[in-house]
């Protein structure tokens, strides 16, 4: 029995032929003094081995909350998962006892957090934090755990890894800290890697290096990668499919080429039109008018209608269904044909 199969057997009911990750109608709300914030409102996502799914949208649309619900790391209260399923290899993680959930977390599904400096413990060396994963989850000796920590730093291209394993997080640059976070996420050979804004606060050159590194490591390990971002430029070269989120819902999902070539939802089209272009030099930048809705007061009908150039009366009254445009493409918009220009 392979090591991966053995670890899959540790979680009851795992089907090695099922999708890596299958999120169905996920719903999460935050119960606050100001009311109930419906952060995730029926999200559906699916991820397969070796595939990169980019989840895109403005800040506050529910991307990170979706990731945290998948990982099982939401603070309850105030967060509450009120519906849906999160299936890993056919097993609903939301119904697992916490002891079994821990066998999946980090071992099978790992996450890179967007603020590496906050995610790393400032009072321990990066080597200690990496080695601890092997000692706790694999029961390895201190010497073997340190050796593996050095190997991981080598894999993510930290120069002079054998020496730097004894350094503290503040002694690394922002890009190097993010590489350490990637090493920690990959330490236990997960099948699914969730990267939440992995290039936040990094300059353009370092962003490209980090994305290239993630893509290379994914190919080597045949992982499923869920990339969460608000930057459409970051995912153009690395994603296989893109899911666009707005007000806690996936409003469009399609292969990456289709999204960029012919968006089918008014929000997706507006996002693309707001990207600066070299051939528009001297022109005013396009912007999306207004602001995303407060999650405690999401508009009736289509949540995007107050900001939408295509909005009609039906958009104010009725939530649009998810139209199946093509075998791998859906869009929740009453005026899909108009947006597509057909």
* Pick from 312, 331, 319, 315: nearest CA to 41: 319
Of the candidate ranges 3-12, 80-89, 114-123, 144-153, the one whose mean pLDDT is the lowest: 3-12
What is the torsional sign of CA 56, 51, 201, 275? Answer: negative
> How many alpha carbons fall within 13 Å on the CB side of residue 317?
3
Residue 97 CA: distances (Å) to CA of 101, 104, 219: 6, 11, 32
Tokens in use for 249?
Answer: 């819902």
In this prediction, residue 10 has a pLDDT band, given cuts at 50, 70 and 90, of low
The structure tokens listed for 13 are 């009911």
The answer, yes or no, to whether residue 22 has pLDDT greater than 70, is: yes
**Residue 124: alpha-carbon gap to chain centroid:** 27
Answer yes or no: are the C-beta atoms of 101 and 74 closer than 8 Å. Answer: no
Rounded CA-CA distance 126/172 in Å is 10
In this predicted model, which residue has the larger pLDDT, 306 or 341? 306
Mean pLDDT rounded to a whole number for the chain: 90
Coil, helix or strand at residue 30: strand
What is the average per-residue pLDDT within 94-106? 88
The answer, yes or no, to whether residue 252 has pLDDT greater than 80, is yes
* Nearest one of 196, 293, 311 to 248, comparing CA atoms: 293
Both structure tokens of 270: 């507006």
Lowest mean pLDDT among 185-199, 203-217, 259-273: 203-217
Helix (H, G, I), strand (E, B) or coil at 318: coil
pLDDT at 339 over 90: yes
pLDDT band at 233 (very low <50, low <70, confident <90, very high): confident
Cα 290 from Cα 276, distance rounded (Å): 19
pLDDT of residue 2: 40
Question: pLDDT confidence of 5, banded at 50, 70, 90?
Answer: very low
- pLDDT over 90, % of the chain: 69
Order the strands of the 224-229 sheet from edge to edge: 109-112, 192-196, 224-229, 52-56, 241-246, 249-255, 329-331, 323-326
Predicted local confidence at residue 6, as pLDDT: 45
Range of lowest pLDDT (17-26, 78-87, 123-132, 283-292)? 283-292
pTM of the model as a whole: 0.90
Q: How far apart are CA 221 and CA 240, in angstroms?
A: 17
H helices then E strands: how many in the chain? Answer: 14, 12
Instruction: Give the H or E element holding residue 205.
Output: helix 204-221
What are the CA-CA distances from residue 331 to residues 267, 289, 291 (Å)?
10, 21, 21
Handedness of CA 215, 218, 224, 225 (dihedral sign): negative
Closest CA to 47 of 178, 210, 239: 239
pLDDT for the residue numbered 81: 96
Strand order in the sheet with 91-92: 35-47, 21-32, 79-88, 91-92
- SS3 call for 181: helix
- The structural domains of the chain, with segments of one domain joined by +, span 265-341
Q: H/E element holding 232?
A: helix 232-235
Q: Is 201's pLDDT higher than 80? A: no
What integer pLDDT is reported at residue 208 of this predicted model? 86
211-237 average pLDDT score? 89
Query: How far, in Å, are 25, 196, 231, 245 from residue 68 at the CA level?
Result: 15, 10, 20, 15
Give the separation between CA 200 and CA 158, rounded to whole angstroms. 19
Cα–Cα distance measured from residue 198 to residue 175, given in angstroms and rounded to the nearest whole number: 10
């Amino acid at each position: 029995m392979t090591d991966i199969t053995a670890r899959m057997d540790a979680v009851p009911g795992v089907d090695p032929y099922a999708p890596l990750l299958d999120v169905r109608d996920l719903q999460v709300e935050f119960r606050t003094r100001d009311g109930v914030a419906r952060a995730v409102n029926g999200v559906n996502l699916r991820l397969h081995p070796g595939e990169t799914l980019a989840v895109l949208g403005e800040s506050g649309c529910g991307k990170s909350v979706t990731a945290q619900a998948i990982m099982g790391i939401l603070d309850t209260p105030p967060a509450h998962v009120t519906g849906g399923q999160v299936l890993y290899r056919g097993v609903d993680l939301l119904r697992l006892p916490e002891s079994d959930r821990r066998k999946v977390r980090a071992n099978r599904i790992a996450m890179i957090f967007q603020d590496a400096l906050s995610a790393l413990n400032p009072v321990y060396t990066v080597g200690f934090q990496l080695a601890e994963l092997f000692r706790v989850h694999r029961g390895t000796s201190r010497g073997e755990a340190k050796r593996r920590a050095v190997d991981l730093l080598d894999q993510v291209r930290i120069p002079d890894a054998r020496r730097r394993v004894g350094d503290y997080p503040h002694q690394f640059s922002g890009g190097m800290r993010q590489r350490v976070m990637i090493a920690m996420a990959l330490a236990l050979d997960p099948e699914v890697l969730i990267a939440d804004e992995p290039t936040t606060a990094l300059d353009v050159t370092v962003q490209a290096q980090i994305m290239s590194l993630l893509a290379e490591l994914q190919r080597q390990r045949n992982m499923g990668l869920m990339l969460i971002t608000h930057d459409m430029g970051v995912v153009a070269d690395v994603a296989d499919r893109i899911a666009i989120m707005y007000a806690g819902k996936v409003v469009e999902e399609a292969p990456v080429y289709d999204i960029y070539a012919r968006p089918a939802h008014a929000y997706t089209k507006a996002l693309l039109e707001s990207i600066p272009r070299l051939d528009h030099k001297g022109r005013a930048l396009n912007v999306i008018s207004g602001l995303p809705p407060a999650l405690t007061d999401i508009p009736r009908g289509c949540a995007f209608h107050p900001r939408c150039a295509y909005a009609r009366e039906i958009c104010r009254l009725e939530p649009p269904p998810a139209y199946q445009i093509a075998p791998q493409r859906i869009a929740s918009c009453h005026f899909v044909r108009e947006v597509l220009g057909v």
